Amino acid sequence: MDVAELRKRILRELDRHAGGERSSGDRRTSADSARVAFTRLLGGTIAPLLIQTASILKAEGELCQVHTPSDTARLAFESSPEDFIEFMLDTTPPAHVIGRGSVRRKGGTMIEDRIVGVGKTIEDITDEDVLAFLLPELRKILK
């Protein structure tokens, strides 16, 4: 096969894999808008839910804290630094919110990442989507 033809076909396939004919500027713009949407979700839904969860758990005797640096939100348990639940943004197209649960067990630490609000845009993620990740992870940690 002609090298030029092979190159064209490979580049065409790479373009398809990367989301079509989008330029790097388009991808950057998309990532920037995802960051803005995630910042809104973080401040308006995720952080308040984690703060309320921490208050409820503290009232039940479970010591935990919420940490909200600019790009994530984490519910950390004082019983072990390896026990936490956090939410972060993944800007890999299509951008999505990742929930990460980390639980220390006898055999080691188990970390699980899942997409929050599968199939939804970041703007469409609701408190129910966040709870759908949060509650099962709480059960794992509080066993």
pLDDT digits 0-9 by tens, 92-131: 889 999 999 999 888 888 999 999 999 999 999 999 999 9
Cα separation, 20 vs 73, in Å, equals 33
For the cut 60, the answer to whether the pLDDT of residue 24 exceeds it is no
Q: Cα–Cα–Cα angle for 49, 51, 52, nearest 5°?
A: 65
Report the predicted TM-score, pTM, of the whole model to 2 decimal places: 0.78
Q: Which helix or strand (DSSP H or E) is residue 88 part of?
A: strand 84-90
Note whether 37 and 121 are within 8 A (CB): yes
Distance of alpha carbon 49 from alpha carbon 135, whole angstroms: 11
The answer to whether residue 1 scores a pLDDT higher than 80 is no
Give the integer Cα–Cα distance in Å for 97 and 77.
22
